Amino acid sequence: MASKNRPDRLQVGKNHSFWQSWLHAWTGLKTVVIEERNMRTHLVLGAVALFAGWWVHLSVNEWLWLALAIFLVILCEINNTIAENLSDMITGPNFSPLAKKIKDIAAGAVVFAAAFAVLVGLVLFAPKVWNLIVSWLN
Ligand SMILES: Nc1ncnc2c1ncn2[C@@H]1O[C@H](COP(=O)(O)OP(=O)(O)OP(=O)(O)O)[C@@H](O)[C@H]1O
């Protein structure tokens, strides 16, 4: 079947419009959220951090650091999912030392970004929580 006559779900050629590109990107994002438990965990923790930021009245700069930390973790998780799917597509259910290397490194990037997020969280929230505790005690 000619590429441009295929139903959308069988498309293999280039997108025909910005809208179609956007729709496929949106489908990709939904797929990561639906298929990856870790992504849902990151989203919940990110939402908790955003709520905490609203609660302690972060400044504009602090919001930017928090947003950077959340976006980095999500980007790395998306990247991790791409690496997992590519590996699975190539190796299938077989053990492959290269697939292991690729998946472990991609997972390492997520841990690296998560460590940055924890650091940002500590720098932003620890002093404010400490001040709150001190004001409650006095
Ligand atoms: N085909 C394979 N060959 C060798 N090792 C593999 C293979 N598939 C998975 N592994 C190992 O199992 C681990 C987990 O696999 P995979 O990343 O597919 O699962 P996951 O639960 O989605 O991981 P994550 O928690 O990073 O999202 C990999 O990091 C890798 O060490």
CATH class of 37-137: mainly alpha
Residue 81 or residue 129, greater confidence = 81
Q: Over the stretch 12-41, which tens digit does the pLDDT of each residue have?
A: 888 888 899 999 999 999 999 999 999 999
ipTM of model = 0.92
Distance separating alpha carbons of residues 32 and 42, to the nearest angstrom: 12
pLDDT, average across residues 103-129: 97
Distance separating alpha carbons of residues 5 and 22, to the nearest angstrom: 20
Distance separating alpha carbons of residues 102 and 96, to the nearest angstrom: 10
Active site residue 77: yes
pTM of the model: 0.87
Q: Tell how far the Cα of 87 is from the centroid of ligand 1, in angstroms.
A: 9
Tell me the one-letter amino acid at 64.
L
Distance separating alpha carbons of residues 70 and 65, to the nearest angstrom: 9
Instruction: Check if the beta carbon of residue 72 is closer than 8 Å to that of residue 113.
Output: yes
Q: Tell how far the Cα of 100 is from the centroid of ligand 1, in angstroms.
A: 6
